[in-house]
Structure 1
Amino acid sequence: MGLNSNSFASPTYMAGVSFTFGGDFGLTLKALTDDKKSRAVGSIGATYYPFAAKTFGFDLGAGYTYSDAAAIVSWDFIQNSVQFSAGYADIDDKKKRYYAPPPVTAPPANNNNLN
């Protein structure tokens, strides 16, 4: 029994802002487990906190994708805090990106005018 390759999720990325419940704001990059709209996803990421005592963070989490965006709740292992992140995500919205107009068909040939 073979597996259909279309059934596997394609990973994508997210770039955005984050906030820890410890009060720190940061800039984050995350890898997401799926690039489809309206899906629950897992994430792994790194965050730069420009104003925190510990300037970097590493997190694992879960979230949800939207049209070209994602929201993630995760645990930051370096900050030892829950983190909320939101930002741009490279979401594959086939209806938006891959619209193809209907094919153009040629009119039938008129063989009566061959003189």
Structure 2
Amino acid sequence: MVSLQLLAVLADSDALVYTAAVLWGLGWGGVPTLLQTAAADAAGEAADSVQAMLVTLWNVAMAAGGMIGGLLLRSLGADSFPISVLLLLTPALILVVAARRHGFPVVRAATTP
């Protein structure tokens, strides 16, 4: 979200655009692996089915992002991207925080008597 705020406000500075790109890469680089882990852990015995659903939804999201991005680019220009993504990330952040305990439950170490 910080990278998008940089792009939304300070896109005229090359250095800040590069900084925003680095922040974006650091923030999203591990997301596919984390999503697969969370989905498999939450699904338990149905992990194979959940992985298939995750891949399908990931591809649908990429296609929808391309279509929506194209419409935004044509109608509002590239300056609309940071604000649009911020609007999309807000409910995603709420969902991730709310579902955190299901995908990444706290595992307590076993104690020996």
Higher strand residue share: 1
Larger Rg: 1
Could you state the TM-score of these two structures normalised by the residue count of structure 2?
0.25
Could you state the TM-score of these two structures normalised by the residue count of structure 1?
0.25
Higher helix residue share: 2
The answer to which structure, 1 or 2, has the higher relative contact order (CA under 8 A, 6+ apart) is: 2
